[in-house]
Amino acid sequence: MRFLSVSLVTGVFAFFACNLHAAENAHQQLEHLVDQHSAEYIDTSKQIWQYAELGYHEDRSSALLQRDLKAAGFTVQSGVADEPTGFVASYGQGKPLIAILGEFDALPGLSQAPVPDRSPVVPSAPGHGCGHNLLGSGAALAVVAVKDYMEKNHVAGTLRYYGTPAEEGGSGKIYMIRAGLFKDVDVVLHWHPSNANSVANGGALAVVSAKFTFHGVAAHAALSPDRGRSALDAIMLMGNGLEFLREHVPSNTRIHYIITNGGAAVNIVPDTATMELMVRSPSLTTLDGIWKRILKIAQGAGLMTETTLETKIDSTDANIIPNDALAHVAQKDLEEVGGYHYTAEEEHFAQNLQKSLPPEYAGNLDSTASVLPLRPIDPNAPSASTDVGDVSWNVPTIGFGAATFVPGVAAHSWQATACAGMSIGQRGMLVAAKALALTASDLFADSKLVEAAKADFEKQMKGKTYTSQIPADQKAPLDYRKN
């Protein structure tokens, strides 16, 4: 019996050692495959950076990625969810089904040459100030590497790339969700350009973006003001109500708005006025309650001024649901990939770029070489919004941040556009592609990881129900950027 026990233990250790060796070998192959394809997808990122196309009009960017993925052996379905630039690229069959998200839209007004001082390529033109040229290209590089690995090693399962348009305020992924494009997916992986390497386990702010237009009655502002019903008065009263509301919402709520139409002339009682508003919260459930109060304020403003109210929701994004099971796998893989060190030329670029930032960021170049520890999300920390959140309310989801920006650089800035168009951004993109590829391969290799991700998803979603304030019959707002 003693001999049998020793043999059993020896066999168990041998089994785990064999699996560990297989995983290490797989990761080495995948990193090599990413390096092998890197030049092609760096070039793709450069071309998309030059195109700098706005949401739902990323025609050349989307076509380029589709061409690359078709050439790599993927089957591509174009124009999905009534989005001309949306697409899904697939390889393989059966389970598990692992998906990686890609984005490729630019931002208005952030055109910038890849140099460390303000120098627009075309003044007031769009630019990749959020690095989506890197995001879409890096995700494509990852799936191509994983596909090659699956093919060479006869790995079963389905791999997908989702080409998702208009992340910047167009909520492109929501229409894909409603079209049922994620209903059979087991796990979703994503990444985003950042100024540090980290695993993003949850976070982001749920957001609703809408236009409130009041319609009144025009009249001569001096001769017959009593005949008028001022739409601008309604806007001002709504704004006043919003300011009072700030005291009675959680401190991590954000409410911001502008008046885009306040009337035609100062001597005419305005018969039309419009406010554009965004409200954000770390919790989609909390946001829904705040949104209902905002609608009541708008309705009250209309009653007080005897004007009629028209509300149009432009976009909504949910917060990102964390997944602890996936986070630990992703953290392990990102630490294995590691960061990178600047070349002398890159360090010179970074130091000059930091001169345009607040002084506390000068000389801080260390984060590119390390991976931040896995930390719980702080709901009170400043954050942005993304329609990846809506995906995470429907499918187990985990994401990476990769150091594509010089430390201290914020997204949605000309400095970010500059970094996204040169080697600092491109090398960070390779870190992201490798981390995505390693985690995808782990999920294909171990069904228990997928099961654990699904179990954690069920736990995180207990008591929650996914909703979107976008009307169920609303189509993707293809021209939302034209205004």
SS in 3 state form for 261-328? ECCCCCCECCCEEEEEEEEEECCHHHHHHHHHHHHHHHHHHHHHHCCEEEEEEEEEECCECCCHHHHH
d(CA 240, CA 263): 18
Residue 3 clears pLDDT 80, i.e. is over it: no
Residue 1 clears pLDDT 60, i.e. is over it: no
- Whether 174 and 387 have beta carbons less than 8 Å apart is answered as yes
Mean pLDDT of 206-222: 97
The confidence score (pLDDT) of residue 408 equals 94
Place of tokens 């700030």: 246
Residue 381 clears pLDDT 90, i.e. is over it: no
pLDDT in tens, 250-301: 999 999 999 999 999 999 999 999 999 999 999 999 999 999 999 999 999 9
Give 279 or 379, the one with higher predicted confidence.
279
d(CA 329, CA 10): 27
pLDDT classification of 362: cutoffs 50, 70, 90: confident
Residue 54 clears pLDDT 80, i.e. is over it: yes
The confidence score (pLDDT) of residue 16 equals 44
CATH fold of 20-204+319-460: Aminopeptidase (3.40.630)
The confidence score (pLDDT) of residue 131 equals 98
Q: What percent of the chain shows pLDDT beyond 70?
A: 95
Residue 424 clears pLDDT 50, i.e. is over it: yes
Q: Which one is the CATH code of 206-317: 3.40.50.10190, 3.90.226.10, 1.10.3720.10, 3.30.70.360?
A: 3.30.70.360
Mean pLDDT of 16-38: 82
pLDDT in tens, 124-168: 999 999 999 999 999 999 999 999 999 999 999 999 999 999 999
Nearest to 101 by CA among 299, 394, 337, 346: 394
d(CA 174, CA 170): 9
Q: Per-domain residue ranges for the chain?
A: 20-204+319-460, 206-317
Residue 62 clears pLDDT 90, i.e. is over it: yes
d(CA 5, CA 16): 17
Residue 9 clears pLDDT 80, i.e. is over it: no
pLDDT in tens, 428-447: 999 999 999 999 999 999 99
Mean pLDDT of 334-338: 97
Q: What percent of the chain shows pLDDT beyond 90?
A: 89
Nearest to 329 by CA among 430, 431, 433, 437: 437
pLDDT classification of 483: cutoffs 50, 70, 90: low
Residue 5 clears pLDDT 80, i.e. is over it: no
Least confident of 8-12, 149-153, 195-199, 315-319: 8-12
Strands lying side by side in the sheet with 254-261: 254-261, 272-281, 206-215, 308-317
d(CA 54, CA 90): 25
Q: Output the CA–CA distances (angstroms, integers) from residue 75 to 151, 154, 158, 179, 437, in the order listed.
A: 15, 18, 11, 19, 19
Question: Taking the alpha carbons of 129, 130, 136, 141 in that order, is the dihedral positive or negative?
Answer: positive
The confidence score (pLDDT) of residue 282 equals 95
pLDDT in tens, 14-24: 444 455 556 77
Mean pLDDT of 441-466: 97
Nearest to 274 by CA among 316, 306, 307: 307
The confidence score (pLDDT) of residue 11 equals 52
What DSSP designation does 82 have? G
pLDDT classification of 376: cutoffs 50, 70, 90: confident
Model-level pTM? 0.92
Q: Residue 385: what are its φ and ψ, rounded to 5°?
A: -135, 155
Question: Which H/E stretch holds residue 172?
Answer: helix 172-178
Nearest to 483 by CA among 55, 52, 50: 55
Q: Output the CA–CA distances (angstroms, integers) from residue 47 to 79, 136, 307, 402, in the order listed.
A: 21, 12, 49, 20
- At 370 the three-state DSSP class reads coil
d(CA 366, CA 11): 44
The confidence score (pLDDT) of residue 25 equals 93
d(CA 111, CA 119): 8
Q: What is the mean pLDDT of the chain?
A: 94
Residue 324 clears pLDDT 80, i.e. is over it: yes
pLDDT classification of 4: cutoffs 50, 70, 90: very low
Least confident of 104-118, 141-155, 373-387, 464-478: 373-387
The confidence score (pLDDT) of residue 299 equals 98
DSSP for 211-272 reads: EEEEE-B--BTTT-GGG-B-HHHHHHHHHHHHHHHGGGS-TT-EEEEEEEE--S-TTB--SE
Mean pLDDT of 379-384: 82
The confidence score (pLDDT) of residue 272 equals 98
Tokens of 428: 């960070």
Mean pLDDT of 384-397: 97
Residue 341 clears pLDDT 80, i.e. is over it: yes
Residue 304 clears pLDDT 90, i.e. is over it: yes
Residue 383 clears pLDDT 90, i.e. is over it: no
d(CA 316, CA 175): 11
d(CA 362, CA 427): 21
The confidence score (pLDDT) of residue 18 equals 52
Helix, strand, coil percentages, rounded to 5, for the chain: 45, 20, 35
